[in-house]
Amino acid sequence: MTAATVEHQKLTMAQAINRALRDAMAEDPTVLMFGEDVGPLGGVFRITDGLTQEFGEDRCFDTPLAEAGIMGFAVGLAMNGMRPVVEMQFDAFAYPAFEQVVSHVAKMRNRTRGRLGLPIVIRIPYAGGIGGVEHHCDSSEAYYVHTPGLQVLAPSTPSDAYSLLREAIASPDPVVFLEPKKLYWATDEVALGRGQEPGIGRAVVRREGTDATLIAYGPSVPIALDAAEAAAREGRSLQVVDVRSLVPFDDETVFAAVRSTGRAVVVAESTGFASVASEIAARVSESCFHSLAAPVRRVTGFDIPFPPPKLEHFQLPSVDRILDTVDDLQWEDS
């Protein structure tokens, strides 16, 4: 696709996801969108706004309020030629569907030795930062990335939300698509159409820097960029890598970035113990050991249930916490 033919539009992330669904549904009649309140209402975040009106209630529809049922129903539809996109209304409301996701969605291709793949997209509005009450702000990515057979994506920009969702819907494998709720209203110039690079499985360097590398994804990327901006004012040059695709994970881009600076901090909102951040830190430590001037550090949520709204700022990675950790990277030795 040449630059001249690509249409761009200024969209919020919510609008970009809506547009990706609309474009995918227009191009492929087997794409179905369903879940709770996604029909005439357009979803509690209005992500599916207008889809039922445009494509009819056979294509975008409400289901009974039962997440395991929604997920199992999607498995059957995918077994029989459809490309279902389901919305789990909130991160923590997706847990009833967990058995279907782990035992069936993730395993069907493998169980059947490649004969039956399930092209399902599981959209999950996720993570905190919106002042949500309990059960509305979980960072549940570790559960999914720990399950072989699931691709797990976490966009941080409207452009990525659009392009990665288009790729996710076209993918022959199931995708858990984590939409950072607090970024729904972020705006960006979005390139429309399928096949926008980079695709699934690629990380990108969001900001060049030479002193240390911040590795982040989803809702933590803007914080990492803010931290890099603040560090620059203090004379320290921080590189920011946006992982985008948690599975498959782009070792190549992440390792190259860390080797170029020799220091790394992983930033993620999820609780830190046995987390995606831990996995990234371990991979970087194992593969970049000889390039590292300091141990890889993590800035993550604490190992506590997600706090109530008035306390959530203690849990979310902040610019100060990132900069304090960067300050700790044994600069006196270099």
Partner 1 sequence: MTREPGHLLPSEDPVMLIDPSGRAVASDGREMPPTDALLRAFEGLVSARRLNDQAYALVRQGRLAVYPSSHGQEACQVVAAQVLEDGDWLFPTYRDTAAIVARGVDPVEVLTLLQGDWHSGYDPTIHHVAPQATPLATQLPHAVGVAHAARLRGESTVVMALCGDGGTSEGDFHEALNFAAVFRAPVVFFVQNNEYAISVPLARQTAAPSIAHKGIGYGIPGERVDGNDAAALLQVLGAAVARARAGEGPQLVEAHTYRMQAHTNADDATRYRSQAEVQEWEAKDPLTRLEVYLRSVDALDDATLAGFTEAAEELAQRTRVALNQDVAPNPEDLFRHVFAEPTPQLRAQLDIVLDELDREEVGR
Residue 249 binds partner 1, judged by CB under 8 A: yes
Span from 79-87, 130-138, 206-214, 299-307 in contact with partner 1 (CB under 8 A) = 79-87
Q: What are phi and psi of 333, to 5 degrees?
A: -80, -15
Name which of 89, 7, 112 is nearest 41 in CA terms: 89
Residue 140 binds partner 1, judged by CB under 8 A: no
Give me the active site residues, please.
136
Least distance to partner 1, CB of residue 172, Å: 4
Using CA atoms, how far apart are residues 296 and 111, in angstroms rounded to an integer?
Answer: 37
Strand pairing class (204-207; 83-87): unpaired
Please say which residue, 58 or 332, places its beta carbon nearer to partner 1: 58
Please say which residue, 6 or 116, places its beta carbon nearer to partner 1: 116
Helix (H) or strand (E) holding 41: none
Residue 99 binds partner 1, judged by CB under 8 A: yes
User: From the CB of residue 66, how many other CB atoms can be counted at a distance below 10 Å?
Assistant: 13
Residue 110 binds partner 1, judged by CB under 8 A: yes
Tokens 């570790």 belong to 142
Residue 116 binds partner 1, judged by CB under 8 A: yes
Tell me which of 3, 4, 7, 113 binds partner 1, using CB under 8 A: 113
What are the helix (H) ranges across the chain? 13-27, 51-55, 67-79, 98-99, 108-111, 141-145, 158-170, 221-233, 251-261, 276-288, 312-315, 319-327
Residue 149 binds partner 1, judged by CB under 8 A: yes
Tell me which of 8, 10, 111, 313 binds partner 1, using CB under 8 A: 111
Give contact residues for partner 1 (rule: CB under 8 A). Answer: 32, 58, 63-64, 66, 68-69, 71-82, 84, 96, 99-100, 103-104, 107-117, 148-149, 151, 171-173, 201, 247-249, 251-252
